[in-house]
Structure 1
Amino acid sequence: MARSGQVTFAGVLLALLGALNALDGTAAIARSHVFVADAHFVIGGLRAWGWVLLALAFVQLAAAWGVLSERAEWARWTGVGALGLNAFAQLAFTPAYPLWAVIVIALDVVAVYALTALWPAAPREAVGG
């Protein structure tokens, strides 16, 4: 089945967010100096949230592969779930890098829209005889 431009957009955006989360998570685990110093987190610390972002990145990249290569429903809904969780993780990550977290949350919303509203409907089979 041919892939539409909207599905490609959704898959590429999902892959981009996964790659950004992988970079963010790795930097947080390594205690990079790109983050705000002495940021206070409600739960855990910078390294803990770095591991969360890295785990979400792997899920997002796997879902992006499924969307781009197979146009699979499991990948679509895995991507939607991972993007929703990522938005919450970025909310918790806001004290470390406020502007970046807000930008990633906005991209998460656009990607969820692309995976839901822009996803082409499956062709309907004839009902009855």
Structure 2
Amino acid sequence: MTPEYQPVLYGLRAKILRPSFLQRQDPSRVISGNPEISEVFIVGDNVPKAMPVREGLPLVLLKLTLPWYPAARPADPCPPGRHGYMAGGAYIVHSSCSEEWGDLFGHSLPIPLHDYTERRSTSR
């Protein structure tokens, strides 16, 4: 019997920057609404494979909202009964991979984290 193979996922670690109103639990913000989560891993195509993803940290993907304006969103699908991810006031910024961050984005500024969801309204 051969041991089960588990691939190692690599990505870029980032800190979550929250405004003061996001310092408490908020279920409508999938990642930033949990004050116990302080870091995420950016994964996906074109992302530098700087370090192995640490188990238990959320994964985010990059998407371009405009051709030159990247944003991060959770890698998991939007929860059922909720609208898609949108800006909610949180950002991510490099934590220990500043050189890789600069190579990926061309700057060291924070990137918006689009992890806010809203309930779908019921039709009347």
Return the TM-score normalized by structure 1: 0.28
The structure having more radius of gyration, on CA atoms, is 1
**When you count helix as a share of all residues, which structure comes out higher?**
1
Which gives a bigger RCO, structure 1 or 2 (Cα 8 Å, sep 6+)? 1
**When you count strand as a share of all residues, which structure comes out higher?**
2
